[in-house]
Amino acid sequence: MMQSFDDAGKLGKEMADTGLKSFASVSKNMQAIAVEATEYSRRAFEQSGSALEKLVQAKSPDKAMEVQMDFARQAYEGFVGQTTRMSELYADMAKEVYKPFEMLGAKAR
């Protein structure tokens, strides 16, 4: 009987440790995601300002259209790249969060 209480205590401790490791992983990855989102926002804001300056300096409607098209292309490419990067960060976080539980499950077998 005492053995099962000891086993239950060890299992409870392992589960708590696993949960803490998982939470630490979420925290670390969410910080990385926040930094990445902040940097993307900063770059997008700077690019918008630069495009606006070029647009104001355009001497002809053709040049203004060229500036606008170039900005739209860069914004789209940046958005697609950022979306891919954020997807990778979230996928990596999911893998890291699950890893401690995966190891715990392997130990139980």
**Token pair for 12:** 């409870």
Helix segments in the chain, DSSP class H: 2-57, 61-108
| Angstrom distance (rounded) from CA 47 to CA 31 | 24
Give the mean pLDDT of 95-108: 75
Torsion region of 58: left, alpha or beta (phi above 0 gives left; psi -120 to 50 gives alpha): beta
How does the average pLDDT of the chain come out, rounded? 87
**Token pair for 63:** 């040049």
Q: Are 25 and 96 in contact (CB under 8 A)?
A: yes
The length of the chain, given as a count of residues = 109
> Would you give the DSSP letter of residue 109?
-
* pTM, rounded to two decimals: 0.73
Q: What is the pLDDT of residues 12-34, one digit of tens each?
A: 787 788 878 888 888 899 999 99
